[in-house]
Protein backbone atom coordinates (compact mmCIF):
# COMPACT_ATOMS: atom_id res chain seq x y z
CA UNK A 1 0.00 0.00 0.00
CA UNK A 2 1.24 3.46 -0.89
CA UNK A 3 0.46 6.31 1.53
CA UNK A 4 0.63 9.94 0.46
CA UNK A 5 0.42 12.89 2.87
CA UNK A 6 -0.81 16.00 1.09
CA UNK A 7 -1.51 19.60 2.04
CA UNK A 8 -4.19 21.51 0.18
CA UNK A 9 -4.34 25.30 0.35
CA UNK A 10 -8.06 25.85 0.82
CA UNK A 11 -9.60 29.10 -0.36
CA UNK A 12 -12.91 28.05 1.19
CA UNK A 13 -11.39 27.63 4.65
CA UNK A 14 -8.69 30.28 4.41
CA UNK A 15 -5.96 27.91 5.57
CA UNK A 16 -4.14 24.75 4.59
CA UNK A 17 -5.78 21.40 5.31
CA UNK A 18 -4.26 17.95 5.11
CA UNK A 19 -5.59 14.85 3.43
CA UNK A 20 -4.07 11.43 2.86
CA UNK A 21 -4.41 9.06 -0.06
CA UNK A 22 -4.01 5.28 0.18
CA UNK A 23 -3.59 3.25 -3.01
CA UNK A 24 -2.24 -0.11 -4.08
CA UNK A 25 0.61 1.24 -6.19
CA UNK A 26 0.17 4.98 -6.52
CA UNK A 27 -2.56 4.69 -9.14
CA UNK A 28 -6.16 5.55 -8.28
CA UNK A 29 -8.10 2.90 -10.14
CA UNK A 30 -10.23 1.68 -7.24
CA UNK A 31 -13.59 2.92 -6.02
CA UNK A 32 -12.93 6.34 -4.45
CA UNK A 33 -13.88 6.43 -0.78
CA UNK A 34 -13.66 9.66 1.23
CA UNK A 35 -13.36 9.18 5.00
CA UNK A 36 -13.88 11.67 7.82
CA UNK A 37 -12.41 11.64 11.33
CA UNK A 38 -14.53 11.19 14.44
CA UNK A 39 -15.42 14.16 16.66
CA UNK A 40 -12.52 16.63 16.93
CA UNK A 41 -10.33 13.97 15.29
CA UNK A 42 -7.47 14.49 12.90
CA UNK A 43 -6.52 13.12 9.51
CA UNK A 44 -4.08 10.58 11.02
CA UNK A 45 -6.68 8.93 13.25
CA UNK A 46 -7.95 6.57 10.56
CA UNK A 47 -4.48 5.15 10.17
CA UNK A 48 -3.60 5.33 13.86
CA UNK A 49 -6.76 3.58 15.04
CA UNK A 50 -6.54 0.75 12.49
CA UNK A 51 -9.24 1.73 10.01
CA UNK A 52 -6.86 1.84 7.04
CA UNK A 53 -5.49 -1.60 7.90
CA UNK A 54 -9.05 -2.90 8.29
CA UNK A 55 -9.65 -2.34 4.57
CA UNK A 56 -6.03 -2.71 3.52
CA UNK A 57 -6.81 -5.88 1.57
CA UNK A 58 -9.29 -3.94 -0.58
CA UNK A 59 -6.80 -1.13 -1.17
CA UNK A 60 -3.97 -3.56 -1.98
CA UNK A 61 -6.24 -5.37 -4.43
CA UNK A 62 -6.91 -2.11 -6.27
CA UNK A 63 -10.59 -2.20 -5.41
CA UNK A 64 -10.63 0.92 -3.24
CA UNK A 65 -8.77 4.22 -3.38
CA UNK A 66 -9.05 5.71 0.10
CA UNK A 67 -8.89 9.44 0.80
CA UNK A 68 -8.97 10.66 4.40
CA UNK A 69 -9.54 14.35 5.01
CA UNK A 70 -8.83 16.35 8.12
CA UNK A 71 -11.73 17.79 10.07
CA UNK A 72 -12.38 21.18 11.63
CA UNK A 73 -15.00 20.29 14.27
CA UNK A 74 -13.23 22.52 16.79
CA UNK A 75 -13.97 25.46 14.49
CA UNK A 76 -17.61 24.45 14.00
CA UNK A 77 -20.01 22.38 16.09
CA UNK A 78 -17.78 21.77 19.12
CA UNK A 79 -16.53 25.39 19.32
CA UNK A 80 -18.51 26.15 22.46
CA UNK A 81 -17.14 29.69 22.75
CA UNK A 82 -18.77 30.68 19.45
CA UNK A 83 -22.48 31.41 18.85
CA UNK A 84 -24.36 28.67 16.99
CA UNK A 85 -24.86 30.81 13.88
CA UNK A 86 -21.11 31.32 13.54
CA UNK A 87 -20.44 27.61 14.02
CA UNK A 88 -22.98 26.69 11.34
CA UNK A 89 -21.51 29.19 8.89
CA UNK A 90 -18.05 27.77 9.47
CA UNK A 91 -19.39 24.29 8.75
CA UNK A 92 -20.74 25.62 5.45
CA UNK A 93 -17.20 26.74 4.62
CA UNK A 94 -16.05 23.16 5.29
CA UNK A 95 -18.74 21.95 2.91
CA UNK A 96 -17.44 24.34 0.24
CA UNK A 97 -13.92 22.99 0.77
CA UNK A 98 -15.25 19.49 0.15
CA UNK A 99 -17.38 20.33 -2.88
CA UNK A 100 -15.15 22.91 -4.59
CA UNK A 101 -11.69 21.57 -3.71
CA UNK A 102 -11.54 18.03 -2.33
CA UNK A 103 -14.11 16.24 -4.48
CA UNK A 104 -12.86 17.75 -7.78
CA UNK A 105 -9.38 16.52 -6.89
CA UNK A 106 -10.70 13.01 -6.26
CA UNK A 107 -12.67 13.00 -9.50
CA UNK A 108 -9.66 14.18 -11.48
CA UNK A 109 -7.39 11.52 -9.99
CA UNK A 110 -9.78 8.59 -10.19
CA UNK A 111 -11.70 9.42 -13.35
CA UNK A 112 -14.96 8.77 -11.50
CA UNK A 113 -17.87 11.18 -11.57
CA UNK A 114 -18.99 10.36 -8.04
CA UNK A 115 -17.43 9.15 -4.79
CA UNK A 116 -18.47 7.16 -1.74
CA UNK A 117 -18.21 8.62 1.76
CA UNK A 118 -17.72 7.07 5.18
CA UNK A 119 -17.08 7.97 8.80
CA UNK A 120 -17.69 6.93 12.37
CA UNK A 121 -19.25 8.96 15.18
CA UNK A 122 -19.08 12.62 14.05
CA UNK A 123 -17.50 11.37 10.83
CA UNK A 124 -20.82 9.67 10.10
CA UNK A 125 -22.54 13.05 10.45
CA UNK A 126 -20.12 14.57 7.93
CA UNK A 127 -20.29 11.72 5.43
CA UNK A 128 -24.08 11.49 5.59
CA UNK A 129 -24.42 15.24 5.36
CA UNK A 130 -22.26 15.26 2.26
CA UNK A 131 -24.52 12.74 0.52
CA UNK A 132 -27.75 14.39 1.65
CA UNK A 133 -26.55 17.81 0.58
CA UNK A 134 -24.91 16.70 -2.68
CA UNK A 135 -26.41 13.43 -3.99
CA UNK A 136 -25.18 14.30 -7.48
CA UNK A 137 -21.60 14.00 -6.19
CA UNK A 138 -21.85 11.18 -3.65
CA UNK A 139 -23.55 7.88 -4.48
CA UNK A 140 -22.38 5.61 -1.69
CA UNK A 141 -22.31 5.85 2.11
CA UNK A 142 -21.18 3.76 5.06
CA UNK A 143 -22.04 5.71 8.22
CA UNK A 144 -21.11 4.07 11.53
CA UNK A 145 -22.40 5.03 14.98
CA UNK A 146 -23.51 8.41 13.75
CA UNK A 147 -25.36 11.42 15.03
CA UNK A 148 -27.41 12.92 12.25
CA UNK A 149 -28.28 16.36 13.65
CA UNK A 150 -26.25 18.92 15.62
CA UNK A 151 -28.62 19.57 18.56
CA UNK A 152 -26.29 17.99 21.10
CA UNK A 153 -23.88 20.85 20.29
CA UNK A 154 -26.15 23.86 19.65
CA UNK A 155 -29.42 22.94 21.36
CA UNK A 156 -32.61 23.94 19.59
CA UNK A 157 -31.05 26.82 17.67
CA UNK A 158 -31.85 26.70 13.97
CA UNK A 159 -31.22 28.76 10.85
CA UNK A 160 -30.85 27.97 7.13
CA UNK A 161 -27.20 26.95 7.56
CA UNK A 162 -28.08 24.50 10.33
CA UNK A 163 -30.97 23.04 8.34
CA UNK A 164 -28.72 22.60 5.31
CA UNK A 165 -26.11 20.75 7.33
CA UNK A 166 -28.38 18.44 9.35
CA UNK A 167 -29.49 15.26 7.56
CA UNK A 168 -32.45 14.72 9.89
CA UNK A 169 -33.65 18.27 9.31
CA UNK A 170 -32.90 18.54 5.59
CA UNK A 171 -34.26 15.24 4.28
CA UNK A 172 -37.91 15.86 5.25
CA UNK A 173 -37.94 18.82 2.85
CA UNK A 174 -36.40 16.94 -0.08
CA UNK A 175 -39.33 16.44 -2.44
CA UNK A 176 -37.83 17.22 -5.85
CA UNK A 177 -38.23 14.09 -8.02
CA UNK A 178 -34.79 14.46 -9.59
CA UNK A 179 -33.06 14.72 -6.21
CA UNK A 180 -35.08 11.82 -4.81
CA UNK A 181 -33.98 9.74 -7.78
CA UNK A 182 -30.35 10.53 -6.95
CA UNK A 183 -30.85 9.45 -3.34
CA UNK A 184 -32.53 6.24 -4.49
CA UNK A 185 -29.64 5.28 -6.78
CA UNK A 186 -27.14 5.59 -3.91
CA UNK A 187 -25.80 2.65 -1.93
CA UNK A 188 -26.53 3.61 1.68
CA UNK A 189 -25.51 1.81 4.86
CA UNK A 190 -26.16 3.04 8.40
CA UNK A 191 -24.60 0.80 11.04
CA UNK A 192 -24.64 1.22 14.82
CA UNK A 193 -23.91 -0.83 17.92
CA UNK A 194 -26.22 -1.04 20.92
CA UNK A 195 -23.60 -1.17 23.64
CA UNK A 196 -21.83 1.49 25.69
CA UNK A 197 -22.01 5.13 24.54
CA UNK A 198 -24.33 4.31 21.63
CA UNK A 199 -27.72 5.44 23.00
CA UNK A 200 -27.86 8.79 21.17
CA UNK A 201 -26.52 7.17 18.00
CA UNK A 202 -29.15 4.42 18.09
CA UNK A 203 -31.88 7.05 18.47
CA UNK A 204 -30.60 9.08 15.52
CA UNK A 205 -30.14 5.94 13.41
CA UNK A 206 -33.73 4.89 14.07
CA UNK A 207 -34.90 8.38 13.10
CA UNK A 208 -32.89 8.20 9.87
CA UNK A 209 -34.26 4.72 9.15
CA UNK A 210 -37.84 5.99 9.45
CA UNK A 211 -37.13 9.04 7.31
CA UNK A 212 -35.44 7.06 4.54
CA UNK A 213 -38.36 4.63 4.49
CA UNK A 214 -40.84 7.52 4.30
CA UNK A 215 -38.94 8.91 1.30
CA UNK A 216 -38.69 5.44 -0.26
CA UNK A 217 -34.91 5.65 -0.28
CA UNK A 218 -33.40 2.15 -0.09
CA UNK A 219 -30.84 1.66 2.67
CA UNK A 220 -29.27 -1.05 4.76
CA UNK A 221 -29.76 -0.13 8.43
CA UNK A 222 -27.76 -2.53 10.57
CA UNK A 223 -28.05 -2.70 14.36
CA UNK A 224 -25.22 -4.66 15.94
CA UNK A 225 -25.41 -6.29 19.37
CA UNK A 226 -25.65 -4.91 22.90
CA UNK A 227 -21.97 -5.78 23.39
CA UNK A 228 -20.97 -3.51 20.48
CA UNK A 229 -19.65 -0.24 21.88
CA UNK A 230 -19.01 3.19 20.39
CA UNK A 231 -15.34 2.51 19.77
CA UNK A 232 -12.73 1.92 17.09
CA UNK A 233 -12.37 -1.89 17.44
CA UNK A 234 -16.00 -2.29 16.39
CA UNK A 235 -15.75 0.23 13.55
CA UNK A 236 -12.77 -1.77 12.30
CA UNK A 237 -15.19 -4.69 11.88
CA UNK A 238 -18.17 -2.75 10.53
CA UNK A 239 -16.33 -1.01 7.71
CA UNK A 240 -14.86 -3.98 5.81
CA UNK A 241 -18.02 -6.03 6.41
CA UNK A 242 -20.23 -3.48 4.64
CA UNK A 243 -17.66 -2.18 2.16
CA UNK A 244 -17.09 -5.65 0.73
CA UNK A 245 -20.84 -6.04 0.26
CA UNK A 246 -21.25 -2.69 -1.46
CA UNK A 247 -18.39 -3.46 -3.83
CA UNK A 248 -19.98 -6.80 -4.72
Tens digit of pLDDT for each residue in 102-134? 999 999 999 999 999 999 999 999 999 999 999
What is the structure's pLDDT at 126?
A: 98
- Are 95 and 72 in contact, with CB atoms under 8 Å apart? no
Q: How confident is the model at residue 28 (pLDDT cuts 50, 70, 90)?
A: confident
Q: Output the pLDDT for position 207.
A: 98
Q: What angle do CA 144, 90, 151 make, to 5 degrees?
A: 50
> What pLDDT is attached to residue 26?
74
Distance CA 119, CA 132 (A): 14
Q: What is the mean pLDDT of the chain?
A: 97
Q: Residue 210: count other Cβ atoms within 10 Å of its Cβ.
A: 12
Segment 27-51 shows an average pLDDT of 95
Per-residue pLDDT for 200 more than 90? yes
In this structure, the number of other CB atoms found within 10 A of the CB of residue 147 comes to 24
CA distance 154 to 143: 22
3-state secondary structure the chain: CEEEEEEEEECCCCEEEEEEEEECCCCCCCEEEEEECCCCCCCCHHHHCCHHHHCHHHHHCCCEEEEEECCCHHHCCCCCCCCHHHHHHHHHHHHHHHHHHHHHHHHHHHCCCCEEEEEECHHHHHHHHHHHHCCCCEEEEEEECCCCCCHHHHCCCCCHHHHHHCHHHHHHHCCCHHHHHHHHHCEEEEEECCCCCCHHHHHHHHHHHHHHHHCCCCCEEEECCCCCCCCHHHHHHHHHHHHHHHHC
pLDDT at 1: 93
Q: Taking the domain 2-247, which CATH number applies?
A: 3.40.50.1820
230-237 average pLDDT score: 98
Q: What is the mean pLDDT of residues 66-76?
A: 98
Residues 141-168 have pLDDT tens digits of 999 999 999 999 999 999 999 999 999 9
Amino acid sequence: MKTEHRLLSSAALGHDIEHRRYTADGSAAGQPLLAFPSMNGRVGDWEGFGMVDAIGHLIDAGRVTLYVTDGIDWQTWTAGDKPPAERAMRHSAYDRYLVEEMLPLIRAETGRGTVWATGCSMGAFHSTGLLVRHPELVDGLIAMSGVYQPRRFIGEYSDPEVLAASPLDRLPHEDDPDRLALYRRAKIVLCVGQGAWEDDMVADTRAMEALLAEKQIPAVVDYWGHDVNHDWPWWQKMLPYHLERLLG
